[in-house]
């Protein structure tokens, strides 16, 4: 169906052919049922050709002037210019208003220019550019995935990628998260309490104790509070209680001291294999439910649950380059549930927080090389003094009227990555697993001997399997063995 007809008369549009313009070689296809001759013409965008026809014509009708421009030069010659990728047709009408010719015009992208640009940017002669209708197709065999990515960036939008990478390689990435947390603290404080007939007074703090009570003896109540605090972990490690009783009342003195030291070591070593140019992700952990309050239609709040991932997570995209370098896009992450970061949302619901260690970067390494892509050294020191005004500032004696606290925390974190080029095992080859070195304990070993598992007899295990599985035993060179125990060539001696 003709979308748009443009009638160009010989008397109104006669233009000379451009200089250096080649005349088109069109293929004539016999058309049945009439005298009109069907021809097919292929053009590239922004390129022109001249077409000679066998019969004289008077008018030209173009199906779509957006795809091609047609200008008659003589009664048997046409000038055709491709404007946009697509197909259209040109009808030739003679002076008797009869159809004497029909030309199918196909305008394609300039694949020659695109292919030249692709090869110039990538330097890969194995890539080629073709066209199928309006679509550009990138094909051929590329040396690596980087050349394919660059070619797709140079190619026009919508290009179909049908390339193949020559001998694609697989990359195993080893990531090590090493974190050490050290904390140390000291506390020293004094507390006075006085209970009289009509007076109660206290100076200082003692653990998580409440204010002094007026009932009974002061010391007995405080010692009871200290015992309760000791069961909950809120009492100082060392304390001294001294009471002074008189006719007018009782004075109690408490001296508390605490020193804490802590060490936390965290190590995570996720390993993951991916094809060169493809993305791989790994997660060893879980998902924590997070309640979310939403507004319902009747105005009442509605609680929904959303899940957040935590644990050891690794995502990376390796690309093996021609020079043997491995380009890595890395996103390693280690997260843990931290109750100290919990947030109360009401209704008895507490949402725990997450402690995360995450890095995102791009690096290039060779096979087997290691790189510390991230590191952290953090030190937090806190010193606080609570004292009674004026009296706490007295030299020496002022220590009885103040409480001092010192806290220091150090964090060291490093993230190390090591890429390696790997190949799969041979068909039928068995790989070592954690179950190869031990077997579950039987009832006698479990209940009587108290063993949960037993070490496997490696000699019997190898003989049953018909050979060593994985890195078991030691391979001794024949030259280093005495003549009495020389091992025949081609055998492996397994030592338990």
Domains in the chain, please, with CATH?
A: 37-108 (2.60.40.1080), 111-166 (3.30.1340), 264-422 (no CATH), 433-462 (no CATH)
pLDDT tens profile 96-130? 888 888 889 888 888 888 888 888 888 888 888 98
Is residue 197 predicted with pLDDT exceeding 80? no
Structure tokens at 146: 């980087």
SS3 416: strand
Question: In the prediction, which pLDDT does 369 show?
Answer: 92
Question: At 182, is the pLDDT very low, low, confident or very high (cuts 50, 70, 90)?
Answer: very high
SS3 21: coil
Residue % of the chain over a pLDDT of 90: 11
Is residue 348 predicted with pLDDT exceeding 50? yes
pLDDT tens profile 391-444? 888 888 888 788 888 889 898 989 999 999 988 888 888 888 888 888 888 898
**Nearest to residue 105, comparing CAs of 208, 2, 213?**
2
Question: In the prediction, which pLDDT does 249 show?
Answer: 80
pLDDT tens profile 364-388? 999 999 999 888 888 989 998 888 8
Identify the helix (H) or strand (E) that includes residue 117: helix 111-122
**Nearest to residue 330, comparing CAs of 274, 268, 265?**
274
- The torsion angles phi and psi of 164, rounded to 5 degrees, stand at -125, 140
pLDDT tens profile 445-472? 899 989 998 887 766 665 665 555 555 4
Strands of 197-325 (E only): list them. Answer: 200-203, 238-245, 249-268, 271-275, 280-295, 301-320
Question: At 297, is the pLDDT very low, low, confident or very high (cuts 50, 70, 90)?
Answer: low
Going by DSSP bridges, is the β-strand pair 164-165/238-245 parallel, antiparallel, or unpaired?
A: unpaired
């Amino acid at each position: 169906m003709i979308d748009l007809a443009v009638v160009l008369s010989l008397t109104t549009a006669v233009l000379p052919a451009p200089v250096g313009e080649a005349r088109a070689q069109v293929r004539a296809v016999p058309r049945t049922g009439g005298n009109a001759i069907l021809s097919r013409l292929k053009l590239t965008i922004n390129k022109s050709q001249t077409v000679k026809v066998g019969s004289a014509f008077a008018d030209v009708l173009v199906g779509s002037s957006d795809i091609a421009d047609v200008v008659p030069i003589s009664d048997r010659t046409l000038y055709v210019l491709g404007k946009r990728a697509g197909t259209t047709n040109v009808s030739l009408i003679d002076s008797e208003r009869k159809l004497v010719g029909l030309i199918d015009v196909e305008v394609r992208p300039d694949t020659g220019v695109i292919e030249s640009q692709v090869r110039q940017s990538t330097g890969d002669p194995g890539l080629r550019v073709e066209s199928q209708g309006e679509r550009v197709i990138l094909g051929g065999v590329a040396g690596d995935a980087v050349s394919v990515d660059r070619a797709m960036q140079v190619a026009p939008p919508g290009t179909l990628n049908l390339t193949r990478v020559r001998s694609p390689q697989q990359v195993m990435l080893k990531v090590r998260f090493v974190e050490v947390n050290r904390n140390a603290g000291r506390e020293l404080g004094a507390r006075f309490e006085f209970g009289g007939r009509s007076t109660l007074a206290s100076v200082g703090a003692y653990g998580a104790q409440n204010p002094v009570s007026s009932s009974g003896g002061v010391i007995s109540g405080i010692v009871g509070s200290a015992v309760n605090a000791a069961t909950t972990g809120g009492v100082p490690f060392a304390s001294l209680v001294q009471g002074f009783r008189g006719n007018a009342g009782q004075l109690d003195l408490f001296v508390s001291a605490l020193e804490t030291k802590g060490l936390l070591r965290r190590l995570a070593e996720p390993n993951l294999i991916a094809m060169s140019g493809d993305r791989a992700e790994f997660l060893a952990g879980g998902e924590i439910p997070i309640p979310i309050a939403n507004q319902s239609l009747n105005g009442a709040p509605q609680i929904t649950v959303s899940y957040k991932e935590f644990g050891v997570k690794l995502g990376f995209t390796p690309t093996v380059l021609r020079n043997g370098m491995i380009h890595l896009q890395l996103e390693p992450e280690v997260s843990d549930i931290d109750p100290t970061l919990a947030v109360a949302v009401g209704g008895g619901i507490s949402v725990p927080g997450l402690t995360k260690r995450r890095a995102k970067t791009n690096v290039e390494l060779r096979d087997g090389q290691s790189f510390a892509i991230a590191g952290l050294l953090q030190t937090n020191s806190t010193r606080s003094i609570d004292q009674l005004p004026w009296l706490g500032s007295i030299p020496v004696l002022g220590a009885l009227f103040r409480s001092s606290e010192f806290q220091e925390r150090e964090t060291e974190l490093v993230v190390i990555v090591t890429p390696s080029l790997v190949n799969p095992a041979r068909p039928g080859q068995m790989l070592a697993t954690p179950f190869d070195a031990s077997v579950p304990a039987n009832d006698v070993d479990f209940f009587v001997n108290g063993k949960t598992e037993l070490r496997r007899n490696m000699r019997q295990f190898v003989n049953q399997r018909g050979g060593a599985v994985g890195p078991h035993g030691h391979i001794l060179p024949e030259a280093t063995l005495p003549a009495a125990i020389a091992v025949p060539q081609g055998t492996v001696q397994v030592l338990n």
